[in-house]
């Protein structure tokens, strides 16, 4: 029989779900190269390839056969063809703006281990979707709020989470939509550079985020009494500040967040929290004008009476700090460790830290490609974000169910 690719699930799967890949109908111990390709919404191509040898019976199951050296990865990595996808255009980040359409994954099997690959033996297509059947996507334009609410199928009510991204602006829905598939009412919240929100804010107002909390708490499909917050980078310091100053916040997961207000002054009622000072002289330039800014933020713990430090001792929420040990944008592991020491000294026990080696600033849901060099949110130049391919992929796969378990426990 001619070689063919066998996938499970066969035709479509959620983007954050594993995909079982096997090839049947090969010759005994036949050497082949497998290639995965995916085009993002802008048409940019991401690819990964791996070299394999079939078993004596001509079967090749990626869950049982290790990849041989010479491809994008080696060893027993059943999902390697997905987590090792890298852009053909250097320093490109995979974004999913329209979560209602799938990414289409192309899989090809070529003869031999040559460069370029040999004859095409088999190919298959598979859809990677962001919304499972029955999910509801509801645009939200209530008062000042600009957001999208994702509701799981069924009657509800569901535990409610607000998802807040870092600097970069706009409305990003990929993480919120994937999280909602796991049984959460999830609000993807924009806070600048979107529709009629400010383009380049000179200050942010905590009242805007309070409005979003109130919207969720009062929603008939959201199970109270409080909500959870999932914040990444700048979105994490906003989430932690919300937990310190606002009511009805039960649990906060911070992804590589500072524990001080950063970049933009934050106002609430008659109080202004200044941003943490930033020392541009401590930004290092490494090869070909790529920056490393990991030392540039002033240490909020060493400046006595620092007004930027978030008063987390006021927070009643449970706190989960998820940090990459190779974060080059900020010292997120150090920040999380120090703030937890302060909380502990005050007799608090409402915190936990998950710390991942070889993981940089970007922590996305599983199977998003590594983004280790990107545009710096403040300096607007290319900068090291950090992270190493295999370690990062393992961190994503481990952290994602931990986030869900955390919210399930406390919401």
Question: For residue 185, how many C-alpha atoms fall within 13 Å in the half-sphere facing its CB?
Answer: 23
Q: What does the pLDDT read at residue 376?
A: 81
User: Do residues 236 and 306 both lie within one domain?
Assistant: yes
Same domain? For 293 and 258 the reply is yes
Q: Is residue 11 within 8 Å of residue 126, measured between CB atoms?
A: yes
Name the active-site residue from 126, 327, 376, 393: 327
114 and 193 both lie in a single domain: no
Per-residue pLDDT of 7-61, as tens digits, reads 999 999 999 999 999 999 999 999 999 999 999 999 999 999 999 999 999 999 9
- Residue-wise pLDDT tens digits, 181-217: 999 999 999 999 999 999 999 999 999 999 999 999 9
* pLDDT at res. 300: 87
Residue 205 among the catalytic residues: no
Token pair in block for residue 349: 């026990």
Claim to verify: residue 229 and residue 159 sit in the same structural domain: yes
Domain match, 41 and 177 both: no
Instruction: Judge if pTM exceeds 0.75.
Output: yes
- The pLDDT of residue 304 is 64
Model confidence at 303: pLDDT above 80: no
Give yes or no: residues 16 and 93 share one domain.
yes
CATH number of the domain that residue 61 is part of = 2.60.40.2240
Q: Reply yes or no on whether 239 is catalytic.
A: no
For residues 116 and 214, state if they share a domain. Answer: no
How many independent structural domains does the chain possess? 2
Residue 331 confidence (pLDDT) above 90? yes
Residues 286 and 400 in one domain: yes
Number of alpha carbons in the 13 Å side-chain half-sphere of residue 258: 25
Residues 166 and 101 in one domain: no
Say if residue 17 is in the same domain as residue 156: no
Lowest mean pLDDT, pick from 29-33, 40-44, 114-118, 233-237:
114-118
Residue-wise pLDDT tens digits, 23-36:
999 999 999 999 99
- In CATH, what number is assigned to the domain containing residue 280? 3.40.50.1820
Mean pLDDT on 398-404: 98
361 included as an active-site residue: yes
**Are residues 398 and 322 both part of a single domain?**
yes
Of 94, 129, 164, the domain-final residue: 129
From the candidates 361, 372, 376, 393, give the one annotated as an active-site residue: 361
Residue bearing tokens 């070889």:
358
Residues 254 and 377 in one domain: yes
Which residue among the candidates 13, 177, 233, 293 is catalytic per the annotation?
233
Please state whether beta strands 158-164 and 185-189 pair in parallel, antiparallel, or not at all (unpaired): parallel
Domain that holds residue 176: 136-410
Domain boundary among 105, 129, 153: 129
Using the 3D structure, point to which of 129, 161, 180 is the last residue of a domain.
129
pLDDT range class, residue 172, cuts 50, 70, 90? very high
């Amino acid at each position: 029989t001619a070689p063919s690719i066998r996938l499970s699930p066969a035709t479509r799967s959620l983007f954050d779900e594993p995909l079982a890949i096997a090839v049947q109908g090969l010759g005994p111990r036949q050497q082949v190269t497998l290639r995965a390709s995916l085009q993002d919404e802008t048409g940019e191509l991401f690819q990964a390839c791996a070299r394999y040898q079939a078993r004596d019976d001509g079967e090749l199951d990626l869950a049982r056969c290790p990849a041989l050296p010479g491809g994008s990865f080696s060893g027993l990595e059943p999902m390697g063809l997905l987590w090792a996808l890298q852009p053909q255009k250097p320093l490109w980040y995979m974004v999913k703006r329209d979560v209602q359409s799938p990414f289409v994954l192309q899989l090809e099997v070529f003869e031999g281990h040559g460069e370029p690959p040999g004859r095409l033996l088999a190919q298959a297509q598979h859809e990677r979707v962001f919304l499972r059947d029955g999910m509801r996507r509801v645009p939200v334009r209530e008062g000042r709020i600009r957001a999208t609410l994702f509701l799981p199928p069924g009657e509800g009510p569901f535990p409610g989470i607000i998802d807040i991204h870092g600097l970069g602006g706009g409305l990003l829905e990929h993480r919120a939509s994937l999280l909602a598939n796991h049984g959460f009412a999830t609000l993807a919240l924009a806070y600048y550079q979107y529709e009629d929100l400010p383009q380049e804010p000179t200050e942010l107002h905590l009242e805007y985020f309070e409005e979003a909390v109130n919207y969720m708490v009062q929603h008939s499909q959201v199970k109270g009494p409080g909500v959870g917050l999932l914040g990444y980078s700048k979105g994490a310091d906003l989430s932690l500040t919300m937990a310190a100053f606002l009511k009805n916040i039960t649990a906060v997961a911070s992804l590589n967040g500072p524990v001080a207000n950063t970049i933009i002054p934050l106002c609430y009622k008659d109080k202004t929290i200044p941003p943490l000072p930033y020392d541009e002289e401590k930004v290092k330039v490494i090869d070909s004008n790529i920056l490393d800014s990991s030392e540039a933020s002033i240490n909020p713990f060493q400046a006595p009476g620092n007004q930027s430090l978030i008063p987390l001792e006021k927070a009643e929420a449970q706190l989960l700090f998820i940090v990459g040990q190779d974060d080059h944008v900020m010292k997120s592991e150090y920040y999380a460790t120090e703030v937890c020491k302060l909380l502990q000294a005050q007799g608090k026990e409402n915190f936990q830290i998950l710390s991942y080696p070889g993981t940089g600033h970007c922590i996305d849901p599983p199977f998003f490609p590594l983004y280790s060099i990107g545009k710096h949110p403040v300096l607007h130049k290319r900068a090291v974000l950090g992270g190493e391919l295999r370690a990062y992929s393992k961190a994503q796969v481990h952290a994602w169910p931990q986030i869900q378990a955390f919210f399930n426990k406390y919401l």
